[in-house]
Structure 1
Amino acid sequence: MDSSVGGEAHSGGWDGVKHGKNLRLPLKASPIAAEVPRTHLQKFADFYNITYEGLEIWAVLVTEKRSTGRQYMNMSMELLNEVERLDKYVRNITAEVDGTVVHYDDLHGIEINYLFNWYKYAYSWSEYFSDINLTYPVGHALGHKFFIGSHFFGVNRHKESPVRQFLLLLNGPLLILPDFQRGPIEQVEFVTLWYMNQAPNMTQRRRLQALQLKLFKMSRVDNFSDLISFDVYGDQVANSEMLRGTFHTVHLFAVGVILMVAFMALAFSDLTIGSQTALILSAIGSPAIATATCFAILGWLGFPFNSIMCITPFLVMGIGVDDAFLLLHAWRRHSDQPIKERMRTVVLQIGPSMAITSATNTLAFGVGITSPTPQMSGFCLCTCLAIFLDFLFEFLIFAPTIVLFFSAKEKKPAKIVKRWISWEKFTNILLSPFGRISVIIFTISLYAFAFVGVSHLKPSFDPSKTFPYDSDLVVSLEKFEKVQSEYAPLNFISALPDLSDSPQLALFMEMVERLEYSEGCYGPERTQILLRDYIEWEEYKNNTMSFEELPKFLSERQIKDKNIVQYETVNGTIGKVWMNYIVICRGDLDWNRRAMKIDKMRKIIDQYPQFQTSLFDYDSTIYDLIITVKDELIKAVLITFVCMTLACAFMIPTLLGFLALWGQDLDPVTMINVLMAIGFSVDFSAHVCYHFHIGQRDGILMNAKEQVTKILRAVGRPMVEASLSTLICMVPLFFVPVYIIVAFAKTVCLVATLGLIHGIVIIPVCLSFFARTKHIPRDNLVLNEQKEAMLE
């Protein structure tokens, strides 16, 4: 037994049970963008001869029986026997998958709870041998020491004073262990069992999920033991709970679609019932077929599908319906023309602005394809292709449907309300001195609030955001966070220096000490590094400092088969030696601070390249994403800014600001939503700016009011209808108990609202300052006809 025998057992530690494979690995950075963390993971995998893509580390947390209402368990042989029985049950559990009985050992289960087994064995003999001293956190038995703080948490807290409990609540566990926790374990809040499996493919993951879910359901029933209860937290349980949350999305989005159809029926109320039905079906059918075609193409190409792609149909639906409103409104305005000429006019007027918005959306998601996150890159590729296909289908499906089925009801005299509300009156108010000043004040206030929001936006990642709020996993997570706050192991693998080379050995120990005394780490007491024990053993034996006696040392401590040390033997001589050692830190629930700590430690080991040290943490891929998310987001926005000019410069900071004020963090979900919003944000502005450009080019308007009025007559109504239909469709998604879906709904609603405000208020006021004060000379008769057509 030894202080470092937990190397393999806890190389991933608590952080290894946060996210499922389809959550963690797809969110990791790509090999090119994240070569450093990938190299670290690969070194760990090579050391243990495994594939890190298939690595699954999960945990079972033992607590006092829930029905008793007590917080702490009394240490006893009876308790240890029950925990051992639970461990054996887990390692012998079976489940049926597709008619096949699956065993735990079928998933290459690795025994990593031997520290607990050794503690139980030593505890059973502690009354008979005086040299067995099971003090916390480092025990001693038969001349050897071993770390027991990896299985027992909340030790002897019943002795803690109320004042210390209050300080603990404010600051978390102290780095210096208080005296009441040292000594034999009398009471403990949690006993944790760790498990490691290999699930390198979908079949194996489904099998592992079946086993974990069986345990998870049993933990909820709580009938395993009369003495203890337990909670399960693993990747596959989190995946299952996340999938359960998506079912809410499907049901409530269907409600949203029904509401949108009802709104479209109201917007098409001037049409006959048959015409309404055909146009609504084609307006929704065009984006639906575009999305289906996109998925089919990607499927034929063998492109992997990921969960974020489920958002694509919703996005394309919003874009397609917007274009449908524009086409239909333009068709209405030219009712006096023959059908062929009418469609030609509609395509000439609306086609270019639709092309512009489709291009901006496609370009925005095209920028996202370069993201270092494969899941985000795949989502952007899918959406980019679907938007392009929808642009084609709007002209191939919806436009012909207008020609074939458009049939307006008999016109009735305009109602009084409609006569009082007109775009001309709106423009007069908007461009009046009072209106312009009001818009300027409103815009400044809008961006001021946005700036406040952005200043409070911080990189983060919360694992609970990946599954429903009502999940039992939320309760389990609260308990596991207590464990994580005490125990956050970081695994290092280094090439050891020649022991006879004192300067190099001193440099190596200097590196280890810098890691041990990094912010939030406990220091040498809890570090599990076999090298120090080996040096002490060599000195005790009066041997010459070398690794020749290393095999004998490992055999004496019964850890030769634990893969803590790897060495080469050349002609009977020990050559290169690699060692796995662990630095124990206090856990931090703030993912951003944890990511920054990992980044600082990487920089420390980079200063000692001769030892080829790698840092392994099961959540390194998430940390790398958090570290890069701000830079990647800034890069995406800057590229899009160059491509789309000032529209994004106004919309994106405003969107980020109000998302922050609405409770969003700068996490990977927000990054995906912002990339989505970059394209959406310029839709309305692009329509307005394009029509302004046409008016300026043709020089047909006398003044700014006339030009703005014409623009709003052309695109104002479809912009309002498109915005309202989008909001109505998104409202039900706010009732889905999944953070990712609610964040998506918030983003879409904000984009629709801010886009409409910019499109019909802010942009027209800005453009009015650039409108012509003198028009290009034309024949008076032609000019009068154009003005009359404008005011129809």
Structure 2
Amino acid sequence: SFGDISSEAMFQDFDKIFIGALLMLCYVVFGLSRISLFEFRIIPAGAGLLCIGLACLSASGICSALGISYGPVHTSLPFLLMGIGVDDMFVIMACHYERCGDKLGNVLPIHMGLVLQHAGVSITVTSFTDIVASTVGGTTIMPTLESFCYYAAAGVFMIFVYQLTFFVPFLILDEKRRIKCDGSNPNISQFHQRNRKQKHSTKKMIHFIYSKVVLSSFGKIFFLTITIFLAGFCIRGNIYLKQKFDPKWFLPSNSYVMKFLKAQEKWYSDSGQDAFIFFGRLNYSTELSNLDAFTKKLRNQTDIIKDVDTWYEVFRDYLNSYYGRDIPNEVLTEDQFNYYLGKFMFSPRGGKYQQNFRFAHALQCGSPAPPITVSSLSFKFKLFNGPEEALPAMNLVKKLVRDSNIDSGDGFKTVWSKVFANWVTDEIIHHELYRNLFFAVICVMLTTFFLILNIQSCFWIFLCVTLTLIDVCGMMYYWGMTVDNVSCVALVLSVGLCVDYATHVGQAFLKCKGTRRERVLKTVESIGSAVMKGGISTLLSLSVLFLSDTYIFSSFFKIFLLVVTLGLFHGIVFLPIVFSLIGPEPQVSDIELDIPQSKPSENLVGTNILTPNEMTIG
């Protein structure tokens, strides 16, 4: 029942994917378009969202073909990919509008080549850093995190492929449509004048905010102080952040299984946690004394064990009472042991312990017991208040089993409990989280360096990512969240997401010329709006998860709300301030080409863009 309900829960909120896609379509059309029929870009917007859908299907197909399992956490993948894919679209469109007045952009194919020369580098850096972060997360020993990270890496890669091979061609087709519409419009000059004013008004607003507020002396001191204070406040949260995992969180609150578990917890709260110690093909006749010593040690752990019910103790008393034996001081032969065990298995006192044995062949009444392949001893753990009590108890019993000197036969011995799935997760998840975050950040920074080749810029991007992760983990504590499978997945993937914002700004800053302040203003004017729109689009795609009562979706919403908000703050506020003070020198990489100017009559053919003066469309 638990498996059925949790499996159904994976797909019960799929309707929210369609709602999120519809909201995203409206937002993307609004973000890519201008206020005119000529610039209403429904075709590129639809093609861009179709790229994301194709990427989800392609990633699922590739990973399924490779035998990578699909779990409950994977249902949140489409929302994550929507945010990443739309971010790439906004960057391409921002560069398209920025270069519309370029003297090299009068021929459409060459114009798009110039767009991809700049936007392509930016989305390549961010896409490959996302892929690296996800792939590094897949090296974990946690199956859920490993599987999800591989799906995410495949999804990001396919988005990168589809955006360049599917979205860009549709953008070119839409640009041809716009050119034909422009050519047939008698008021085209007035149209372009309005668009120039719209473009300039947006830039003026951004310029005013940054020049008069963010980059002012007071603004720099204020925002740097906020950054330092926030980091210190969240470091405290990191110290107190705890790990806790409970599979019941994956169940809908109104399911019958959850209601049963709540009733069981209410009326049988002191029943304890069932556990078993398994032994293999031992020489049981000679191990009775060791079994006796072990069960006594187990019973003595009254601080962690509620009850012990073993077949050995009842079997010992049975032999000593009815057959006059002196167990464990007396050693039985193998035939004697099998004879007495056969009697015991069908006695009133021993019948219930048949479930604790697996024999080489069927057990028969009146015959000696067959050779034992597996036996088990039953006991119950007490109920513990969190992993800090449960983990030492689990490890203590494991140590008792290891030190039991029960080594005859195949020597197999182990302790198992259903609750160990939770406890083992709690034991490794904290270490795995920080390990994966560390390696993901390092690998992402190395990838960023090799793609943009500027040490100083990479360092400041690294600092932005680190501060964002510190703040997110700290705020998780203040929001009442814990480290578990879901939050671990979200945090590892957040490395690739928060590095996007800082990388776009860092890459654009290196391409600008002038003083540091002038370059920062040019950067935020050209790419700041696209980065902000990309962050908002991610929040919009995840906003529908706020209405879900599924633990996975609600956790993803909380964490990515923090990631996007704090990532944008460090990417478009903190980083520009740092660059204005100690930013790196510019990298000059523009290619000067000798391109013949088109005649005005040629601009109405679908393959050409309008002349540079006409192309200032905002």
Which TM-score bucket, shorter chain as reference?
0.7 to 0.9
1:332 to 97, 100, 109: 97
Q: Name 2:121's counterpart in structure 1.
A: 352
1:250 matched to 2:67: no
CA distance in 1, matches of 2:37, 2:273: 65
Give, in angstroms, the shift of residue 300 of structure 1: 4.3
Q: Name 1:514's counterpart in structure 2.
A: 297
In 2 relative to 1, CA 537–485 (structure 1 residues): closer, same or farther, beyond 3 Å? closer
Please tell me whether the aligned partners of residues 529 and 581 of structure 1 are also in contact (alpha carbons under 8 angstroms).
yes
**Would you tell me which structure has more strand in proportion to its own residues?**
1
Amino acid at match of 2:418: Y
Give, in angstroms, the shift of residue 417 of structure 1: 6.9
Amino acid at match of 1:385: A
Q: Name 2:192's counterpart in structure 1.
A: 410
In 2 relative to 1, CA 349–427 (structure 1 residues): closer, same or farther, beyond 3 Å? farther
CA distance in 2, matches of 1:449, 1:529: 52
Q: Name 1:239's counterpart in structure 2.
A: 6
Give, in angstroms, the shift of residue 574 of structure 1: 8.8
1:310 to 69, 75, 81: 75
Please tell me whether the aligned partners of residues 233 and 474 of structure 2 are also in contact (alpha carbons under 8 angstroms).
yes
CA distance in 1, matches of 2:371, 2:252: 53
Amino acid at match of 2:473: L
1:725 matched to 2:494: no
Give, in angstroms, the shift of residue 683 of structure 1: 0.5
Give, in angstroms, the shift of residue 476 of structure 1: 2.4
Amino acid at match of 1:684: Y
Where do 1:469-508 residues align within 5 Å? 469-482=253-266, 483-494=268-279, 508=291
Q: Name 1:385's counterpart in structure 2.
A: 154
Amino acid at match of 1:382: Y
Q: Percent identity?
A: 20
Please tell me whether the aligned partners of residues 462 and 591 of structure 1 are also in contact (alpha carbons under 8 angstroms).
no
Please tell me whether the aligned partners of residues 427 and 709 of structure 1 are also in contact (alpha carbons under 8 angstroms).
yes
In 2 relative to 1, CA 774–658 (structure 1 residues): closer, same or farther, beyond 3 Å? closer
Give, in angstroms, the shift of residue 604 of structure 1: 2.6
Report SS of the residue matched to 1:372. coil
Q: Name 2:45's counterpart in structure 1.
A: 280
Q: Name 1:556's counterpart in structure 2.
A: 347
| Bigger relative contact order, structure 1 or 2 (CA pairs below 8 A, ≥6 apart) | 2
Amino acid at match of 1:310: T
1:459-509 deviation line (CA, Å, top 9, x unaligned): 1113332122343444322211232532322111236987887xx766544
Give, in angstroms, the shift of residue 583 of structure 1: 1.6
Please tell me whether the aligned partners of residues 82 and 541 of structure 2 are also in contact (alpha carbons under 8 angstroms).
no
Please tell me whether the aligned partners of residues 669 and 740 of structure 1 are also in contact (alpha carbons under 8 angstroms).
yes
Where do 1:425-574 residues align within 5 Å? 425-482=209-266, 483-494=268-279, 508-518=291-301, 520-522=303-305, 526-540=307-321, 541-543=323-325, 545-547=330-332, 548=336, 549-557=340-348, 559=351, 562-565=354-357
CA distance in 1, matches of 2:97, 2:204: 21
Give, in angstroms, the shift of residue 774 of structure 1: 11
Amino acid at match of 1:588: F
Please tell me whether the aligned partners of residues 2 and 257 of structure 2 are also in contact (alpha carbons under 8 angstroms).
no
Please tell me whether the aligned partners of residues 291 and 312 of structure 2 are also in contact (alpha carbons under 8 angstroms).
no
Amino acid at match of 1:263: Y
**Would you tell me which structure has more helix in proportion to its own residues?**
2
Q: Name 1:628's counterpart in structure 2.
A: 428
Amino acid at match of 2:502: S
Report SS of the residue matched to 2:270. helix
Q: Name 2:167's counterpart in structure 1.
A: 398
CA distance in 2, matches of 1:771, 1:617: 56
Normalising to structure 2: TM-score of the pair? 0.78
CA distance in 2, matches of 1:331, 1:677: 28
Give, in angstroms, the shift of residue 674 of structure 1: 1.0
In 2 relative to 1, CA 499–288 (structure 1 residues): closer, same or farther, beyond 3 Å? closer
In 2 relative to 1, CA 584–705 (structure 1 residues): closer, same or farther, beyond 3 Å? same
Give, in angstroms, the shift of residue 432 of structure 1: 2.6
2:143 to 374, 379, 387: 374
Where do 1:46-85 residues align within 5 Å? none
In 2 relative to 1, CA 577–449 (structure 1 residues): closer, same or farther, beyond 3 Å? same
Please tell me whether the aligned partners of residues 468 and 738 of structure 1 are also in contact (alpha carbons under 8 angstroms).
yes
1:423-467 deviation line (CA, Å, top 9, x unaligned): 355145323321221122111122123223222321111333212
1:594 to 378, 390, 393: 390
Moved more, 641-650 or 348-357: 641-650
Where do 1:690-705 residues align within 5 Å? 690-695=507-512, 700-701=513-514, 703-705=515-517
In 2 relative to 1, CA 680–518 (structure 1 residues): closer, same or farther, beyond 3 Å? farther
Report SS of the residue matched to 1:682. helix
2:404 to 586, 598, 608: 608
- Unpaired runs of at least 5, structure 2: 183-190, 362-367, 446-461, 589-617
1:688 matched to 2:505: yes
CA distance in 2, matches of 1:302, 1:624: 25
CA distance in 2, matches of 1:773, 1:298: 43
Please tell me whether the aligned partners of residues 130 and 156 of structure 2 are also in contact (alpha carbons under 8 angstroms).
yes
In 2 relative to 1, CA 309–418 (structure 1 residues): closer, same or farther, beyond 3 Å? closer
Report SS of the residue matched to 2:86. helix
CA distance in 2, matches of 1:606, 1:560: 27
Give, in angstroms, the shift of residue 591 of structure 1: 5.7
Corresponding residue pairs, total: 531
Please tell me whether the aligned partners of residues 521 and 583 of structure 1 are also in contact (alpha carbons under 8 angstroms).
no
Give, in angstroms, the shift of residue 351 of structure 1: 1.1
Please tell me whether the aligned partners of residues 509 and 586 of structure 2 are also in contact (alpha carbons under 8 angstroms).
no
1:765 to 548, 568, 577: 577
Q: Name 1:139's counterpart in structure 2.
A: none
Moved more, 765-774 or 620-629: 765-774
Report SS of the residue matched to 1:335. coil
CA distance in 1, matches of 2:524, 2:474: 28
Amino acid at match of 2:262: E
- Unpaired runs of at least 5, structure 1: 1-233, 777-791
Q: Name 2:546's counterpart in structure 1.
A: 734
Q: Name 1:90's counterpart in structure 2.
A: none
1:756 to 526, 548, 568: 568
Amino acid at match of 1:283: G
In 2 relative to 1, CA 609–350 (structure 1 residues): closer, same or farther, beyond 3 Å? farther
In 2 relative to 1, CA 347–477 (structure 1 residues): closer, same or farther, beyond 3 Å? same
Please tell me whether the aligned partners of residues 542 and 557 of structure 2 are also in contact (alpha carbons under 8 angstroms).
yes
1:744 to 522, 543, 556: 556
